Amino acid sequence: MRHPVILSTLLIILFSCRTLLVVSDVEKRNISNDSLVVAYNTEIADLVAPYRQNLQGDMSRVISISKEELIRSKPESKLTNLVADMLLNSGVAFCRITKQAFVPDVAYVNYGGLRASLPKGEITVGDIYQLMPFENEMVLLKLSGTTMEQFVEQIALRGGDGVAGMRLGIEGSRIGSLEVDGQEFERNKDYWVVTNDYIAAGGDDMSMLVNRKEMIETGLKIRDIIIENLESELQSGRRIQGATDGRIYYE
């Protein structure tokens, strides 16, 4: 007990010896924050220039051509369907390349995760960064039928989202009918969902996904997946064309 007593005594002595300072006047002055404050450093500018040029060049690189402007809307839209389809196809390809014993049944893209439309005509890398400015990565989730049902109920409650591999009929704000991979939904069956790590962590009111049976991290950024998919289509001579097909509808 000696050390705490000694420490307390020293602190009392220290603070009792300090002179009490009182603010008697306050002077205000604006400090300019323009190019005159810090001189232009040509050495730093020369060092950064190649990186700036590479970034600007990459952002302006054309990776696709669209026949129309693609805008998100609910319950489904050409934009949300397009992105969800690319995510599902990439999830399937990942499972085959890594020799998984399954392929994902469903892909999910949260509506709020798409922050811009895609323009008619040329689409650049910069457009995809505006569409999806986040560093989210693709993950695969194994869900029980019960968790899957809770997950889809949330999609119905919010009036739709970006999905692939399923057909959802919304009645009021609940599930009216549900098919997964062309088959009627079964509550006693497990399902694999491909989505992003933010959603997998329960983001955007998807807390039920924390109760998954299994999660596989791919390390692949979804933005890069979109860029690579679009670029591949362009190199094959195909323009992208979104479509709505009734995958989410009101009963």
Q: pLDDT tens, 217-241?
A: 999 999 999 999 999 999 989 888 8
pLDDT in tens, 124-172: 999 999 999 999 999 999 999 999 999 999 999 999 999 999 999 999 9
20 secondary structure, DSSP code: P
Helix (H, G, I), strand (E, B) or coil at 149: helix
What span, in angstroms and rounded, lies between the C-alpha atoms of 86 and 236? 16
- Please name which of 84, 57, 82, 89 lies closest in space to residue 68, comparing C-alpha atoms: 82
Q: What is the pLDDT of residue 66?
A: 94
Per the structure block, which two tokens stand in for 188?
Answer: 């006693």
Per the CB < 8 A criterion, the answer to whether 103 and 91 are in contact is yes
Pick 5 or 237 by higher pLDDT.
Answer: 237
Q: Has residue 11 got a pLDDT over 60?
A: no
Mean pLDDT of 53-81: 88
Which residue is listed with tokens 């700036």?
A: 52
Q: What is the pLDDT of residue 86?
A: 97
Residue 17: partners with Cβ closer than 8 Å, 6 or more residues away:
none
Q: What is the pLDDT of residue 242?
A: 84
Q: What is the mean pLDDT of the chain?
A: 85
